[in-house]
Chains A and B, each alone.
Chain A
């Protein structure tokens, strides 16, 4: 087990103690809520929400975790081909997602169920995608939540272009729009990611890069992706970079809110590195026991984003057992509804593979479509006789 990278103890300087008050193993990052559930202040980032909003974050965290767990369960039951779990990353997704305004646009990677939930986008789409009944299509314009992107970092350039368009439309400044693109630590090694930083920088686009550093690109740790952490790399591209405790929903909210507002107002792009951990294997097809051990998982269980948040809500008397029970009950209802819907997703018609390739369909493709339809019909006739 000697090959497993573990978080290294931070140097015990006065500076570090101030920024990261609780846990000596954390890197330097913005934290507002310690793993023990204690609220701490940060000189640059503050958060003041209403009681309802604070409770709402808990509801989002719990429901999105339960929905995500269903992805894993449904795959195990043979209902999905694959599921990439976000377990452990709820605070990063809910915190940043709740900092978005209705007009902002999200470019996800493929593990952003929590963001999708808080955006109010029908969460059936990733389940349909991973069941194999479609390719993830939705009304992306109405949703302001773009299509999942499987090729790592490809979406960062789409977001950079979209953000250029936002600026061209004059939609920055007072009541401006921001664009946020989600990606992982592995994506930071791709050319597209680095090109996107260049483009966002030189065109000063209203774009926030939200890097969920979950420590793993399948089996490879950060040590194989970079020598300088992503938030520091941003500076070289002329962007502010901030590292935040990705398991602290309040800090993720506060930092995202600040940098999204910066983008909306026309002050330009930035990068947030949410330091978090992927508690599940890369996907249901992966075997994480080959590259990490139980002790490491235990370490991160101690930093669970929901447990610390619940502790704080209780300590502040913001929520009681009745509230927590009501959230559990609501989550169960969502889960039941989701399971029902997933199992009832029907297989697509054979024509669907042909019908969305072109706006103006070439005659040769129409001929292939007719051939496929006729062949399928001939099989059906054969099975009926």
Chain B
């Protein structure tokens, strides 16, 4: 088993895709010669050529829009949007074109396009470089949305996303890019749209994804010292959501706290809370709590520690849940 960072996991996963599928392409700003600003595509243009790892114009609508055209021609593009806050110029092509073309065609055409987006804060960046725009895409029928929280998931999920005949928006938590962990490149991976219990417990359930899985695990570790046995679930897939592990967990713990960096209003926590209230009402001992970013634009980086969900805010929410 190899130890690698999330960046390396993604890079190795993409290498597998390019080796195994001659129709796969990587395209984006600075993905070729430079290897991407985070080096996720490092070395791939050198090995697979500039026809398959394409440095594109600085043009997000163009990246998504031409990826659609390439998909119509039989290619399987994997696009990189350089930062979360730069996806909006490509918004129409993502939500009105990429998402809907299969439906408009009556199911006759497929759109095997992956849109990779480094996401989230916590790296001291300037504005537009720390956002969590997942709700826009989760709210858009026709797209699938996933996010990885570990190098192993990064390695496998990017390959699974590339194999999908539906368009996948793939969020990569940039503050976890350089954390190392073991990666099993041989065992059969969990399905792309499955959630996973990453820590088993009985007192309450923490539901997280992407960058906040680590936050939740740390909170569970600290809580254990206080005698609280928290379960942690990594959603992994934000659209569709794999509900069964959540229902199973709630029936066991009766309490849930959803943790994400995106603002609270109509964030993933809203949907998770509403659905679990509908489907697990008699199992709930307390309302589903949310620990999220605030309903403000992402703040100046000197304030991001106050904005981002952290261990203390998560444990505070657990305490409030336990008070019911």
Report A142 CB to chain B, min CB distance, Å: 10
Docked Cα-Cα span, A168 to B68, in Å, equals 15
Q: A139-B108, A195-B65, A357-B142 are in contact. Are A161 and B103 (CB under 8 A)?
A: no
Contact with A along B26-70 (1 / 0, CB 8 A): 000000000000000000000000010000110101101111111
Task: Knowing that A138-B108, A141-B72, A161-B69 touch, tell me 19 more A-B residue pairs with CB under 8 angstroms.
Answer: A135-B103, A137-B105, A140-B105, A149-B97, A151-B92, A154-B97, A156-B65, A157-B93, A162-B70, A162-B72, A163-B69, A192-B65, A199-B66, A352-B106, A357-B102, A357-B141, A358-B142, A362-B193, A362-B240
State whether B104 touches A157 (Cβ < 8 A).
Answer: no
- Residues from chain B with a CB closer than 8 A to the CB of A102 are none
> Smallest CB–CB gap between B167 and chain A, Å?
9
CA distance A140 to B96 in the complex (A): 18
Q: Which are the 6 A-B pairs with shortest beta-carbon distances?
A: A161-B69, A157-B65, A165-B73, A137-B106, A161-B66, A362-B240
Chain B residues near A141 (CB, 8 Å)?
72, 108-109
Contacts of B158 in A (CB 8 A): none
**Shortest Cβ distance from B160 into chain A, in angstroms?**
11
B66 nearest in chain A by CB position: A161
A-B contact pairs, 22 of them (CB 8 A): A135-B106, A140-B72, A140-B105, A157-B64, A157-B68, A157-B69, A158-B69, A160-B62, A160-B69, A161-B66, A162-B73, A163-B69, A165-B72, A169-B73, A202-B57, A356-B102, A357-B103, A357-B141, A358-B142, A359-B102, A359-B110, A364-B241
Nearest-Cβ distance from residue A349 to partner chain B, whole angstroms: 12
B301 at interface, CB cutoff 8 A: no
Q: Are A159 and B69 in contact (CB under 8 A)?
A: yes
CB distance from A162 to the nearest CB of B (A): 4
Contact of A161 with B108 in the complex, beta carbons under 8 Å:
no
A252 within 8 A of B: no
Contacting pair A134 B106 (CB below 8 A): yes
Contact assessment for A160 and B106 in the assembled complex, using a CB-CB cutoff below 8 Å: no
Q: A297: CB under 8 A from chain B?
A: no
Q: Are B240 and A365 in contact (CB under 8 A)?
A: yes
Chain A stretch 161-202: residues in CB contact (< 8 A) with chain B: 161-166, 168-169, 191-192, 195-196, 198-199, 202
Q: Tell me if A2 counts as interface (CB < 8 A to partner B).
A: no
Q: Are B65 and A165 in contact (CB under 8 A)?
A: no
How many pairs of residues, A versus B, come closer than 8 Å at their CB atoms? 141
B62 touches A195 (CB 8 A): yes
- Which of A156, A168, A365 has the largest number of chain B CB atoms within 10 A? A168
A residues 98-142 touching B (CB-CB < 8 Å): 134-141
- In angstroms, Cα B101 to Cα A88, docked, is 30
Residues in B neighbouring A166, C-beta threshold 8 A = 73
Of B73, B101, B102, the contact of A358 (CB 8 Å cutoff): B102
Q: A146 in the interface, Cβ–Cβ < 8 Å? A: yes
B74:A154 contact, CB within 8 angstroms: no
Interface 1/0 per residue, B96-134 and A, CB below 8 Å? 110001111111111000000000000000000000000
Question: Is the CB of B166 closer than 8 A to any CB of chain A?
Answer: yes
Which residues of the other chain, B, contact A192 by a CB distance below 8 angstroms? 61-62, 65, 92-93
Q: Judging by beta carbons under 8 Å apart, are B65 and A161 in contact?
A: yes
The chain A residue sitting closest to B60, CB to CB, is A195
Quick check: B66 and A147 within 8 Å, CB to CB?
no
State how many angstroms separate the Cβ of A71 from the closest Cβ of chain B.
20
State the CA gap A141–B70 with chains docked (Å): 13
Task: List A contacts of B240 (CB < 8 A).
Answer: 362-365
- Give the size of the chain A interface in residues (CB under 8 angstroms): 44
A residues apposed to B, CB below 8 Å? 134-141, 146-147, 149, 151, 154, 156-166, 168-169, 191-192, 195-196, 198-199, 202, 352, 355-360, 362-365
Instruction: Name the residue of chain B whose CB is nearest to the CB of A162.
Output: B69
Most buried by B among A135, A157, A362: A157
Closest-by-CB residue of B relative to A167 is B51
Q: Are B166 and A358 in contact (CB under 8 A)?
A: yes
Cα A154 to Cα B98 with chains together (Å):
11
- Known contacts A160-B65, A161-B67, A165-B70; is-contact A355 B104 (Cβ 8 Å): no
A199 contacts B57, C-beta separation under 8 Å: yes
> Taking the complex as formed, is B83 at the interface, i.e. its CB lies under 8 A from any CB of chain A?
no
Q: Which residue of B lies closest to A159 (CB)?
A: B69
Question: Which residues on the A side are within 8 Å of B59 (C-beta)?
Answer: 195, 198-199
Q: Which of A195, A198, A357 has the most CB of B within 10 A?
A: A195
Residues of A within 8 A of B110 (CB): 359
Give every chain B residue within 8 A of A360 (Cβ-Cβ): 164-166
Q: Does B297 contact A (CB under 8 A)?
A: no
Most chain A Cβ neighbours within 10 Å, of B93, B165, B239: B93
Let me know if B243 is at the binding interface, CB within 8 A. yes
Q: Which of A157, A163, A364 contacts B61 (CB 8 A)?
A: A157
Q: Is the CB of B107 within 8 A of A355?
A: yes
Docked pose: A163 CA to B65 CA in angstroms: 12
Q: Give the distance in Å from the alpha carbon of A80 to the alpha carbon of B246 in the complex.
A: 47
Residue numbers in A under 8 Å from B72 (CB-CB): 140-141, 146, 158, 161-162, 165
Say which residue of B57, B164, B241, B243 sits within 8 Å of A198 (CB atoms). Answer: B57
Q: Please report the C-alpha to C-alpha distance between residue A163 and residue B66 in the assembled complex, in whole angstroms.
A: 9
- Decide if B89 is an interface residue (CB 8 Å cutoff): yes
**Residue on B with the closest CB to A181?**
B69
Task: Find the B residue at minimum CB distance from A151.
Answer: B96
* B260-301 CB contacts (< 8 Å) to partner A: none
The chain B residue sitting closest to A161, CB to CB, is: B69
Instruction: Answer whether A154 and B96 are a contact pair too, CB < 8 Å, given A134-B106, A165-B75, A199-B59.
Output: yes
A192 (CB) vs chain B CBs: closest residue: B61
Which chain B positions have C-beta within 8 A of A134?
A: 106
- Interchain nearest-CB distance for A269 vs B (Å): 13
Q: Which of A136, A154, A158, A199 neighbours the largest number of chain B CB atoms within 10 Å of its CB? A: A158
Cβ-neighbour of A161 out of B70, B101, B166 (below 8 A): B70
Residues of chain B within 8 A (CB-CB) of A161 are 65-73
CB pair A154–B164 under 8 Å, yes or no, is: no
**Beyond A151-B92, A168-B75, is A356–B105 a contact (Cβ under 8 Å)?**
yes
